[in-house]
Structure 1
Amino acid sequence: MIKRRLVEFGVICFVLTWVPWGVLGVLGANPDEGAGSLVFALAASGPSLAALVMWLRYRERRRVVRWSLVWPVAAVVLGALPPLVACAVMGDLPALPDHAASVISGAGGLLGAAAYTFLAGPVAEEFGWRGYVQPRLRGYFGLLGTTLVLGAVWGVWHVPLYFLPGTGQQDDGLFTQQGLTFFLELFPLTLVMLFVSERLRGGVPAAILLHAAWNLTQELVPPLGHGVWVEFLVLTAVAAALLTSWTPVRRGRRVAA
């Protein structure tokens, strides 16, 4: 039953996203202007929209979030740390204030930057990936299995962006160090999101906050260049540390991942 519903979610999600993105690509429409921006935004919301369809169709119970100060702080720190460390290692910290100010100004100010950061990616995706898919995968796989499967699906879902003019991914290129590290980072990032959403019981809000902190910090720091490998190594080290220290608790028993 769960497997069938996961497949159903996947079909709905990829159709909602890939078809509109493909149409934009064929028409050569600008995803940042006019009707193209609306179509692009709706398509980018494919994961969360697919989760909404599944929840409405099957009336499945959603997990309860444990509200505390722990997971919000953890989500922000864990999301912002790797890009900031990479920026420091590359010696670009002095240039960070001017670059950040330029990015914020281009987004229409601090409020505009914050709104875009939360909506474009975190809210559009996380109700699907972390809210619907993740807990159902955990019924079949341990931490590593869930990380590998969800990280791979998450990466494949992004592939059309590398062929859609006007996107940051298309500017970076698929077969570059930026393209390679983008996909590699999704695996440790998936595990870190597992930690804040499941272990700290922050649920979807924690995943949204971490995703937003990750995206915003990457935008605010100057372009990392070869520093993307430093970012990847730091993120992987963080994920490894969380994995080795995490023994999930179920039904009063401590069980191995």
Structure 2
Amino acid sequence: MPAGANLLAMMILAIILAPLLEEMGWRGYGVDSLRAKTGMLKATLLFAALWSAWHAPLMLIGGTYQNQLARMDNPIFLGNFFVSIIPAAIIANWLYYKNNRSIGAAVVLHSMLNAASVLLNAGQVAKCIATILYAATAAAIIAIDRTAFAEGPRNFLYDAEEPVKSAASRP
């Protein structure tokens, strides 16, 4: 396959397909399941750990970004990739819940993060700086919207249902 076709395929995968499929599974199912048991902040942190672990096997697959990081002389850059997932998860989960559990908001964020990395061809030091900026953004979101992250377990399955009125409460 010509180099241009490889680049196009990688861009489609990284910017469109991977964010769409991952967000459908992670936010469309996984985050709500965790939040129903643990609450917003704990679910987000557990989710970030799972999301990071999800990417770990890619270190073993030649040609992947994670494999390239694993083969570099400086392990800080590989560590940065996995650490960057934590603030990304906080921001994505916050957007997901603030937009009525729309995976579209999370897909757009995920696509933008991947696009910035692929299209700008940022160096590893720039990506470390970006992780610091993501972390500052995530910290600001948590500080500003403390009540959202302080919420305990919540099962969204029942949110749309009307409360059942007992016979005693009817006129």
Correspondences of 1:27-106 after superposition (within 5 Å): none
Aligned to 1:197, the other structure's residue is in SS state helix
Partner of 1:205: 104
* CA shift digits 1:71-103 (9 cap, x unpaired): xxxxxxxxxxxxxxxxxxxxxxxxxxxxxxxx9
Which of residues 143, 155, 158 in structure 1 aligns to 2:55?
158
Q: Determine whether 1:107 maps to 2:7.
A: yes
Relative to the length of structure 2, the TM-score reads 0.75
**Shift, 1:244, TM fit:** 1.2
Residue type at the aligned position of 1:166 = G
**Shift, 1:229, TM fit:** 2.2
Q: Structure 1 pair 105/223, CA: closer, same or farther in 2 (3 Å)?
A: farther
Q: How many residues in Structure 1 have an aligned counterpart in Structure 2?
A: 146
Partner of 1:236: 135
Poorly superposed stretches of 4+, deviation over 6 Å? 103-106
Partner of 1:218: 117
Does the CA contact (< 8 Å) of 2:66 and 2:78 recur in 1?
Answer: yes
Aligned to 1:107, the other structure's residue is in SS state helix
Partner of 2:31: 134
The CA RMSD measured in Å over matched residues stands at 2.5
Partner of 1:245: 144
Partner of 2:165: none
Which residues of structure 1 form unaligned runs of 5+?
1-32, 34-102, 249-254
**Shift, 1:217, TM fit:** 0.7
Which of residues 44, 54, 67 in structure 2 aligns to 1:147?
44
Bigger CA radius of gyration: 2
Does the CA contact (< 8 Å) of 1:143 and 1:191 recur in 2?
Answer: no
Relative to the length of structure 1, the TM-score reads 0.51
Q: Distance in 2 between matches of 1:104 and 1:233?
A: 32
Partner of 2:21: 124
Partner of 1:256: 150
